[in-house]
Amino acid sequence: MSNIVLTTLNSRFSHTSIALRYLYANLHELKKEAEILEFVINSDIETIAEKILDKNPKIVGIGVYIWNAKDVENLIKIIKKVTPDTVIVLGGPEVSHQPFRVDLSKADYIIQGEGEISFYKLCKDILSNNPPDTKIIKAQIPIVTDLKLPYDYYTDFDIKNRKIYVEASRGCPFECEFCLSSIDERVRYFDIEKILKEFEKLWSRGVRNFKFIDRTFNLNMKIANRLIDFFLSKKEPYSLHFEVIPDAFPESMKQRIKKFPPSSLQLEIGIQTLNPKIAQNINRRLNIPKIIENISFLENETNAHLHLDLIVGLPGESLESFASNLDKLVSVTKSEIQIGILKKLSGTTIDRHDKIYKMIYSDTPPYDILQNIFIPFKEMQKMKRFARFWDLYYNSGNFYHTISFLWKEDKKVFDNFYKFSDYIYQKSESTYQISLQRLSKFLFDYLTQIKNYDKTLIADSLIKDIIRVEGRSIFDFIKEHASSIPDMRKIKISKQNKRQLLHST
């Protein structure tokens, strides 16, 4: 039995919650009365409630995020119906700013902000029968160097089966209007010596996949280079994920990044737009020449796998402007380009554009934009499908050689993929649960029937894509037109970080 249960619903089984582990680590003497339980969205909510209540907790602390808000709403209602005296405390990004757009009224307390100090104090007060009168608690901002670190509380099961999230800093120096990080306190750094000791302990326990959640990893070069040097000193294969700003790669960092072996380093780069006027609209700093220069460097002189972000629906940006962004990025990189749909998050200042650009958003998570003055609802729906199909065809790497035939003649990436996206949807009437065989057939038919490419040329190209993944079979419709069929028993590919490898030649 546990007086305190810390829980959340992660978006995938492979994910872990570093936030719960921070809360647990900073419960001090109350740790012995607490337990972490993690679940996954879209699971049976009554079963989740059952597992939580099996612990007979007095306090249930729940992390609320954009992906689990509706599930949490239902979970709260069930717990309160079954055990009305259980105290429910909410925290996390989805409740840190108002208005709340799901019904969380049955929760007893909501902590807004970084909760390590405030959650501990609240639990002490509740367990000593001295609960506060106020429901909304503004969190006391912790001094990060004083916090107990969470890394001992990743279990051996986590290390073997799940992603391990880490951080060296909190906060963001930028003020992009669509992003909650723009509201954060100034950037604060953990003690680098303590961090490196913790990472060494994780390494000795077998962690080889480190995902940094820092918003701007390459802001402080001294700390960033210390962390990079730590991993470069390791000999066994590993995987790192950093979120970086695209215009800050001094020579010291460039030389280090060059040393990373293939499939070991992924850099997430938030481009969002390459249109200076749109960037100014959302208070985003852009040095476009430097951005293109650095992306070209990373693409051509390093083994880093890039994950670039573009957003559809930014205030003032037309589809023509977005098309220019996508065409430019595809011309300088073969890595993933994640196409996101603008969201209106509580607490951000993006709503100041609502009247001017007639921005209309969904009221339910994830609060996607529905339309604006430049992109009507029907076009926005098409762009949401475009983004999904782009991920299936381009970002997956499954069609690395063949997908470029769509725009090979005129280099108009957006225009050609837009037409292909419409074609797929007409054929499938779905954006999910489309098998690799059907995806391959759609592409083959489109390129040979609509674009009039030679069937043998496209079949041979698809075979080159298929044989890059061990164990895959060549589909019959491809065999029918291929010039030759390779012996799949002789084809091998490394299984480490397969998606990254599929974006390399």
Residue-level pLDDT at 430: 87
Domains of the chain: 4-141 (3.40.50.280), 163-365 (3.80.30.20), 376-505 (no CATH)
In tens, the pLDDT along 380-416 reads 999 999 999 999 999 999 999 999 999 999 999 999 9
pLDDT at 216 over 90: no
Q: Is the pLDDT at 488 greater than 80, yes or no? A: no
Look up the pTM and report it.
0.91
**346, 290 in Cβ contact below 8 A?**
no
CA angle 185, 190, 191 (to 5 degrees): 150
pLDDT at 490 over 80: no
In degrees, rounded to 5, the angle at the alpha carbon of residue 77 between the alpha carbons of residues 74 and 82 is: 130
DSSP secondary structure, 410-470, as one string: T--HHHHHHHHHHHHHHHHS-SSS--HHHHHHHHHHIIIIIS---HHHHHHHHHHHHTTST
Instruction: Rounding to the nearest 10 degrees, give the CA dihedral for residues 279, 280, 283, 285.
Output: 60
Whole-number pLDDT of residue 172 = 85
What gap in Å lies between CA 306 and CA 271, rounded to an integer? 12
Q: How confident is the model at residue 471 (pLDDT cuts 50, 70, 90)?
A: confident
Residue 495 has pLDDT above 60, yes or no: no
| Structure confidence at residue 248 (pLDDT) | 80
Mean per-residue pLDDT over the chain, rounded: 93
